[in-house]
Structure 1
Amino acid sequence: MTELIHPLATVPRDELVARAEADPLRPRFHFVSPAGWLNDPNGVCQWDGTYHLFYQYNPEGAFHHRILWGHATSTDLVSWTDQPVALEPSAGPDADGCWSGVLVNDGGTPTLVYSGRLDERELPCVAVGSPDLSTWTKAPENPVIAAPPAGVDITAYRDHCVWREGSRWRQLVGSGIRGRGGTAFLYESADLRSWDYVGPLFIGDASQGSPANTDWTGTMWECVDLFRAGSGSLGSEPADGSPDVLVFSAWDDGRTHHPLYWTGRYSADAFEPAALHRLDYGGRYFYAPQSFLDEAGRRIMFGWLQEGRTDAAMVEAGWSGVMSLPRVTTLADDGTLQFAPVPELEKLRGNHTSLPGRVLAGTLDTGVTGNQLDIELDLQLAPGSVLRLAILGSGDGAEETRIELSRPADGAVGLLRLDRTRSSLDASVDKEDRSGPVPMTDGHVHLRVLVDRSAVEIFANGRPLTARAYPTLGGGHVTLSATGSMRLLSFDAWTMADIGGGARTLFP
């Protein structure tokens, strides 16, 4: 039996993959690491036609420890091939872990900017890749920034957003100023090695609201991501008035809260915010998002789907963490972001069930069963009506995960709610409600639900809600019910195929 490496590593390394693959709750068409621990997406990009997904990875077990960079590639954003680990800790500033970062194109040279961890602090480091992004060489100058800004009492300092602006590189490092709030420190460089500190791009106010609020901005901003939502590039004046977007994940004293974003304008070394928005109504279940422009000009976003079960359950299962399905990010008419799964995912669709349009009243058994599903509905809700879509049902009412859409008696903004009260007979898993507003002009809603065993991604008129559910009875019944007046315009459901490509190893 392989020696246990860490006090939490109750599952030996040589059993991890088999243990993980045997877990009936492990998703099959979302990307997951071979086994062990997965968290933030890193370095997401399309390079010479191939999509690359790097991610935070611990192959020792299903817990956060000495983090490496896992690596997978795809030609279609659907099926993924494991590649050799990209970065591993080594003597120096990343001896305790290679934490989150990004990939940039430095005149044809693939270059990673990431947080190296040593002695409980993180500092920016650089690594240069081979033309196919398969091997990486760390820069001798690491760390390329020797310390956080002098004279500032910070809460934390890590994660990067890097872009080219004119003849210079610019970088944001996520941080927080104690007693004030989260921030992103702005730097400038000619060569990605020597960086000049410019100042805080924008400082949040942690005194506004409470940590329990779904829009609280936290004491530190993790995984900052700055981009132009429409036409043009950062630093230029948009011809169509498109906003700039500053995405961050609110963090506080070791606790991950939720992803948020500001719309506003980046100009003259600062970000002027206009409005704050929730990025995903699932809170911490869609965390640390990172986006990129692909060769078709689409902004693609990935996020980390955290677990909702206990540390002991994760370790016993041999795996933890799911990568979200890739999402296309676009600008809505109201100036906010809207999201949809990439259309390439439709190639996984299998058996199809379609229901004709009808007035919906009472409860309807759709005839659909399964725990790997893609469901699309178009609805017309009258004022005061409520739709309930139950998934992962046991058939006898003992277990089901319920998605609710309600339209108020007045107004054009309804509510999307995920009710997990009866999602599992396991009392130890998280069952807290998740919800958020949905614009529904004239009561029309397009609802898309992707179910992958324990992973659930919901899109209602472009507003996402991501969460986890852990049914114990193995059911997959899908039912519809309605209160009030409502018309089902269309209902389509497909089973979804696995993306597994055969045996996997911890170190491909």
Structure 2
Amino acid sequence: MTHDLTLPSGTPTAEGLAERAQRDPHRPRFHFTSPGGWLNDPNGLSHWNGVYHLFYQYNPLAPAHHHIHWGHATSTDLVHWTDEPVALVPGTDGPDRDGCWSGVLVDDGGVPTLVYSGRHGERELPCVARGSADLRYWTKDRANPVITTPPEGIDTTAFRDHCVWREDSGEGTVWRQLVGSGIRGVGGTAFLYESDDLRTWRYVGPLLTGDASQNRGEPDWTGTLWECVDLFGIGDGDGTDVLVFSAWDEGTTHHPLYWTGHYQGDTFTPTALHRLDYGGRYFYAPQSTRDEHGRRIMFGWLQEGRTDEANAQAGWCGAMSVPRVVTLGTNGRLHQAPVPELTVLRRERVEVAPGALTDPYTRLHAVRGDQLDIETTLRLAPGATARLVVRETPDGAERTVVEVSRALDGVGGILRLHRETSSLDPTVDIEPRYGELPLDADGLVDLRVLVDHSALEIFANGRPLAARIYPTRPEEAVGVGIGADGDVTLERFDAWQMASAFTEGPRPLWP
């Protein structure tokens, strides 16, 4: 998904990519990144025989979205990852000559099978590949593409990315598939297909179609194309279904959204539309799976916020979010949190004594770092604001501010991320991000902030906000502080240094 980019002028060759990536001070150390080159969408996410498999869009030749392969990594704990052989390589000719784009992994009678978008010229069409028992080696079907054209008679904006599942049809089980698309002049959509064998597909119709004329420019605009659609049930048997998609328009990635509602028959009846992550494009193209423990696990692509030229010089581009556990909250919206396994990386712990926050800002000299996991609980009176500052230089010239505030009437609040002073580099994105914060009558905010060099993920009462930050003095931008305006009580504050999830040294681009 997303359009191919022309390689920036002066882009270095693949030689030395992994070495330069390893040296970059902005490269995350406990978020998953490719060995070097380009990474985008999570693909084929699965928990197979006790092993988590993360496939991803990968260009091992340059840090640019061009000639996309499928990278592959495995883990037994969702924290430490092993690079596996590249799963899919674009063909010398045929339907995926210009890239193996986003898709999923399914279990076809015990045979691991990938359904992905093969790109040839300007066309993306569904293709299939069968894997070895250990999911390390893949053979593409000779019948590819298994759908040879988008639905006839519909002017589509694009046709790519897949969600595939097995379903009881009343006369046995069938495969069903959603393909992300858009109807020109109308809005984004997900086309529904059906098959008995994953190779011969019958078009059923649009599962749901958005209205691109509504809310254009707003953080909940549904776009002209729905990328990376993901349909799953959630909750304790209450019939709530979720349809996730990423809003795209004319080559621009906007933000991930989700509908709650009810999937039945050939339609999805929506009840409400919500923002999936307040970071917008910084948590894009998410994919989820139900693991063998019954949890809904989700990854998203943390896009960069610096220039193509900066990415080229760094030797790498793109990171994964930490894996998240997604549940249904009491308010009918999704609740997200880092997987508990992540705590295995915690090292030195610093605790701040609870009490009233009486100063607008206090530097916490005992807490420093660019690899941190911070957990705090704050109690906000109506009209109060609390702020947590991270990645601050000693002179305060560069600092990133996480802010939570409660409305004056006490009903609800706002989570804000201020990046206006995150970097003195005029070429990086420093726009603020924000979203609604659910609050009970007690005004409590459970706030967790993960700092991993340029990767930042915030979770406030189950609402996430992901972003990227690039201090120009990264070695000095390690300060942490806290402050408040109004009546705020610090109920608890714990911070941990985080170990790296990867061994030191460059990783092979072609493991």
TM-score tier by shorter-chain length is over 0.9
Q: Which amino acid aligns with 1:83?
A: E
Q: Which amino acid aligns with 1:449?
A: V
Partner of 1:417: 416
Work out the CA distance in 2 between the residues paired with 1:23 and 1:300.
29
Structure 1 position 225 matched with structure 2 position 230: yes
Q: Which amino acid aligns with 1:365?
A: R
Partner of 1:127: 129
Partner of 1:433: 432
Work out the CA distance in 1 between the residues paired with 2:119 and 2:232.
27
CA deviation profile, 1:444-477 (whole Å, cap 9, x unmatched): 0100000000000000000000000001112110
Find the residue that maps to 2:22 and give its secondary structure. helix
Partner of 1:504: 507
Equivalent positions of 1:253-268 (< 5 A) are: 253-268=250-265
Equivalent positions of 1:102-501 (< 5 A) are: 102-166=104-168, 167-210=173-216, 212-231=217-236, 240-362=237-359, 363-366=361-364, 367-441=366-440, 442-474=442-474, 475-501=477-503
Runs of 4+ off more than 4 Å: 5-9
Aligned residues: 495
Q: Does the CA-based 8 Å contact 1:9-1:60 persist in structure 2?
A: no
Runs of 5+ consecutive residues of structure 2 not aligned to the other structure: 1-5
Deviation at 1:411, TM superposition (A): 3.6
Deviation at 1:10, TM superposition (A): 2.2
Work out the CA distance in 2 between the residues paired with 1:306 and 1:49.
29
User: TM-score when scaled to structure 2?
Assistant: 0.96
Q: Which amino acid aligns with 1:494?
A: W
Find the residue that maps to 1:19 and give its secondary structure. helix
Find the residue that maps to 2:33 and give its secondary structure. coil
Deviation at 1:396, TM superposition (A): 1.1
User: TM-score when scaled to structure 1?
Assistant: 0.96
Q: Does the CA-based 8 Å contact 2:378-2:490 persist in structure 1?
A: yes
Q: Does the CA-based 8 Å contact 1:8-1:315 persist in structure 2?
A: no
Q: Which amino acid aligns with 1:456?
A: L
Runs of 5+ consecutive residues of structure 1 not aligned to the other structure: 232-239
Deviation at 1:505, TM superposition (A): 1.0
Q: Does the CA-based 8 Å contact 1:301-1:329 persist in structure 2?
A: yes
Equivalent positions of 1:14-53 (< 5 A) are: 14-53=15-54
Work out the CA distance in 2 between the residues paired with 1:111 and 1:268.
25
CA deviation profile, 1:31-85 (whole Å, cap 9, x unmatched): 0000000000000111010000000000111110000000000010000000000
Deviation at 1:438, TM superposition (A): 0.8
Partner of 2:3: none
Partner of 1:85: 86
Give the root-mean-square deviation of aligned CA atoms: 1.0
Find the residue that maps to 2:490 and give its secondary structure. strand
Find the residue that maps to 2:435 and give its secondary structure. strand
Q: Does the CA-based 8 Å contact 1:223-1:290 persist in structure 2?
A: yes
Deviation at 1:365, TM superposition (A): 2.1
Deviation at 1:12, TM superposition (A): 2.3
Q: Does the CA-based 8 Å contact 2:232-2:243 persist in structure 1?
A: yes
**What is the aligned-residue identity percentage?**
64
Work out the CA distance in 1 between the residues paired with 2:439 and 2:430.
27
Find the residue that maps to 1:422 and give its secondary structure. coil
Work out the CA distance in 2 between the residues paired with 1:153 and 1:200.
13
CA separation of 1:108 and 1:8: change in aligned 2, threshold 3 A: farther
Deviation at 1:8, TM superposition (A): 4.4
Deviation at 1:6, TM superposition (A): 5.7
